[in-house]
Copies of this chain bind each other. A is one copy, B any other.
Amino acid sequence: MKKLLLQLDSDKLASSFDTITAYDAGVDHVLMFGGVGVEDVRNIVYGAMFTRGGEMLKNSAVFIGGSSVPVGEAMLKAAQDAFFGPVRVSVMADPNGSNTTAAAAVLKIIRATPVAGKKAVIYAGTGPVGVRAAALLVKEGCQVLLTSRKLDRAQEACKAIYDRFQLEVTPMEVRAEASVIQALEGAHVALACGAAGIELVKKELWAGSPTLEVVADVNAVPPTGIGGIKPSDDGKERESKIAFGALGIGGLKMKIHRASVARLFEQNDLVLDIEEIYAIGKGL
């Protein structure tokens, strides 16, 4: 029986990135659905639930992508709401690559240095990757500071993390150079999750930090958010710190993405969201 992945994407056109990655993960056929609304999810999922019975259900699975992370989250909920007890299929959510990217970034960091009991700063961390990375780092025993140019946005993000994960992250407004430095005080890890092409932390601000061990950045478009590192850095030593750029993180992200999709077809009742995707990455 063929392994079929139903790709649900809220963008007008389904992501070719996600489709190709699914084929490389061993899926036999991807059913590409673009322009999917939350209200369309139930019927698509029903099609997977009611065509293959019992043990065979595990050969159908659902992948939720799309560039909007909130819509993707609502679609994940709608998919789970469609299930009837054991009549269900496995589902993975990775809207805008947020889960696989956050998992990869944190795995790079914790493999470079143990983080339990240490301090991490996530610059411009209010987006989906920053929020997820913050939660994962706290779970690893790290104390996390999440910054934004606006305090209320940082506070909202920390509240969202608490609501979703019941984990504490400290919000901080960071705009001027003084606050960039202040955030970095005593930090062992700095992760930049800001918009593409914007430098958040100049090299001279982090290069001399006595505590900093790891710098990482998830944006691929130069200049990097962490000044002085390169997108291709994958554990490169820079200023006596270990640096990870977006492409270095991206290689691991792809592996996690493929392994997670492959995992979907092992049983019919998986829900792969950030925690499960991170666990899969850890097991690689």
A148 within 8 A of B: no
Are the C-beta atoms of B23 and A2 separated by less than 8 Å? yes
Are the C-beta atoms of A35 and B20 separated by less than 8 Å? no
Q: Smallest CB–CB gap between A22 and chain B, Å?
A: 10
Are the C-beta atoms of B13 and A52 separated by less than 8 Å? no
Contact with B along A6-22 (1 / 0, CB 8 A): 10000011011111110
A152 within 8 A of B: no
Number of copies of chain A assembled together: 3
Are the C-beta atoms of B40 and A24 separated by less than 8 Å? no
A31 within 8 A of B: yes
Contacts of A250 in B (CB 8 A): 50
A1 within 8 A of B: yes
Are the C-beta atoms of A12 and B31 separated by less than 8 Å? no
Contacts of A60 in B (CB 8 A): 20
Q: Count residues on chain A whose CB falls below 8 Å from chain B CBs.
A: 37
Contacts of A35 in B (CB 8 A): 12-13
Distance of A214 Cα from B2 Cα, bound (Å): 38
Q: A21-B51, A24-B52, A51-B254 are in contact. Are A6 and B2 (CB under 8 A)?
A: no
Most B Cβ at <10 Å: residue of A30, A43, A50, A51: A51
A29 within 8 A of B: yes
A32 within 8 A of B: yes
Distance of A171 Cα from B48 Cα, bound (Å): 38
Task: Name the contact of A51 in the complex, choosing from B17, B31, B46 (C-beta under 8 A).
Answer: B17
A226 within 8 A of B: no
Are the C-beta atoms of B23 and A4 separated by less than 8 Å? yes
Distance of A13 Cα from B8 Cα, bound (Å): 11
Most B Cβ at <10 Å: residue of A1, A50, A60: A50
Are the C-beta atoms of A36 and B52 separated by less than 8 Å? no
Q: Smallest CB–CB gap between A170 and chain B, Å?
A: 34
Q: A20-B60, A23-B4, A51-B24 are in contact. Are A13 and B40 (CB under 8 A)?
A: yes
Are the C-beta atoms of B16 and A44 separated by less than 8 Å? yes
Task: Name the contact of A44 in the complex, choosing from B13, B23, B30, B47 (C-beta under 8 A).
Answer: B13
Distance of A24 Cα from B254 Cα, bound (Å): 30
A33 within 8 A of B: yes
Are the C-beta atoms of B33 and A13 separated by less than 8 Å? yes
